Amino acid sequence: MSMNRREFSRLGALALAAGVTCTLSAQTPPAGNERKTGYAVIGLGRIAAHFMPGAVNSTNSAITGLVSGHRDKAERIAAQYGVPASSIYSYDNFDEIAHNPAIDAVYVALPNSMHAEYTIRAAKAGKHVLCEKPMATSVADCEAMIAACKRANVKLMIAYRCHFEPLHLRSIQMIRDGELGQVQAISSCFGFNIAPGEWRLNRKLAGGGPLYDVGIYCLNACRYLTGEEPAGVQAFASTIDHDGRFNEVEENVSWTMRFPSGIVASCATTYGANMTGYFKVYGAKGWVQIDPAFNYDGVHLRAELSGQVIDQLSPSHDPYQFVAEAEHFSHCVQNNLEPQCPGEEGLKDMRYIAEIYRSAGIAT
């Protein structure tokens, strides 16, 4: 397999991230003189409920602020994490975090369309930003977020938790080490049967359908597994159920990608069926799959390499992916390092999502 320098260095970053994760979280106590990175969490929904215990279980991160439209909910969570009432903000007075020295960074866990505004406001307040995926709902918003963080000289990372999942990293390593031989094809799907009323079904808030929310895991995985950027995409989208859920976003997207080396990928995502997220990579000497791949828990790698069978169930439990993610970003903040998945990584996915939508005939 041919690998260019950028790929090697990218893999290096991933391996480093894994190393940092395993070493620090398992063994290394925080340096006595190293202040923990304090996060203000913006949006106290489902994903934040994974991130917050993750952060406090890392060695170098703390929850030091909360931003919510629901003061009572925020107060309950504040009590849990030892956040003083003075560090609870509403969306109206959010910009005052600028004056709170306990807040080093924000974790943006809002509906997709609000990522850009709060990332940019956080940057203007001089805070580093860890922003959930998808980075935003448009390429232009992603570009504005990157520019704002550069201008403010703050770090920006997109919270691609699978970049810190040890079995995902092991798959990448197997591929780079040539254990699969030349990779030919990848299959990857991820979807779920969505409940009515979710903000994810509101186009303005979500940007689009399941590709933005869960299909992005397949897209991103195909990129880190190959170490390449797609040279072409083709897609179909459809809506089958006319039960009120899909008035604004599509229900299904099925797409193929061709990478410069010739590797092809077949992917699908849906909001109409439970579709456990997985990938399977097929190479000349063997295959590796993770199934389930994108769950918070129970990640399961299987491989067959020149006849040798590997079967490894992740021994870690939720929120381990968030522990590693927080650990890495805090480490970058404290040591002025470029994070593993900077804004540019989120921007790339947003560009491919736009291409997939164009191919499927959906206006973006």
Residue (of 233, 288, 281) closest to 257 by Cα position: 233
Is position 187 an interface residue for a copy of itself (rule: CB under 8 A)? yes
CB 313 within 8 A of CB 307: no
Structure tokens at 311: 């079967």
Nearer to a copy of itself, 135 or 265 (CB): 265
Return the residues of window 203-242 that contact a copy of itself according to CB under 8 A.
232, 234-241
Structure tokens at 2: 């041919």
Residue (of 50, 109, 110) closest to 323 by Cα position: 50
Measured in residues, the chain has a length of 364
Among 54, 191, 209, 343, binds a copy of itself (CB under 8 A): 191
Return the residues of window 275-304 that contact a copy of itself according to CB under 8 A.
275, 280, 282-284, 286-287
**CA 148, CA 144: separation in Å to the nearest integer?**
6
In the complex, the smallest distance separating the C-beta of residue 310 from a copy of itself, rounded to whole angstroms, is 15
Identity of the amino acid at 121: R
In the complex, the smallest distance separating the C-beta of residue 288 from a copy of itself, rounded to whole angstroms, is 11
Nearer to a copy of itself, 274 or 335 (CB): 274
In the complex, the smallest distance separating the C-beta of residue 308 from a copy of itself, rounded to whole angstroms, is 14
Q: Which stretch binds a copy of itself (CB under 8 A): 5-13, 30-38, 109-117, 269-277?
A: 269-277
Catalytic residue (one of 127, 133, 155, 348): 133
Residue 328: φ, ψ to 5°: -65, -50
Is position 80 an interface residue for a copy of itself (rule: CB under 8 A)? no
In the complex, the smallest distance separating the C-beta of residue 338 from a copy of itself, rounded to whole angstroms, is 32
Structure tokens at 100: 């709170």
CA angle, residues 165, 337, 319, in degrees to nearest 5: 25
Max CA separation in the chain (angstroms)? 60
Structure tokens at 314: 């992740």
Catalytic residue (one of 107, 118, 212, 217): 217
Is position 261 an interface residue for a copy of itself (rule: CB under 8 A)? yes
Is position 52 an interface residue for a copy of itself (rule: CB under 8 A)? no
Is 73 assigned a catalytic role?
A: no
Is position 124 an interface residue for a copy of itself (rule: CB under 8 A)? no
**CA 257, CA 234: separation in Å to the nearest integer?**
7
Is position 334 an interface residue for a copy of itself (rule: CB under 8 A)? no
Is position 182 an interface residue for a copy of itself (rule: CB under 8 A)? yes
Is position 272 an interface residue for a copy of itself (rule: CB under 8 A)? yes
Is 296 assigned a catalytic role?
A: no
Is position 310 an interface residue for a copy of itself (rule: CB under 8 A)? no
Is the link from the previous residue into 134 a cis peptide, with omega within 30 of 0?
A: yes
Q: Which stretch binds a copy of itself (CB under 8 A): 115-123, 141-149, 163-171, 177-185?
A: 177-185
Alpha helices in the chain (DSSP H): 5-26, 48-57, 71-81, 115-124, 139-152, 166-176, 203-206, 210, 216-226, 320-335, 343-360
Structure tokens at 44: 């106290």
Binding stretches for a copy of itself (CB under 8 A):
181-185, 187, 189, 191, 193, 232, 234-241, 251-258, 261-268, 270, 272-275, 280, 282-284, 286-287, 359
Q: Which residues are catalytic?
A: 133, 217
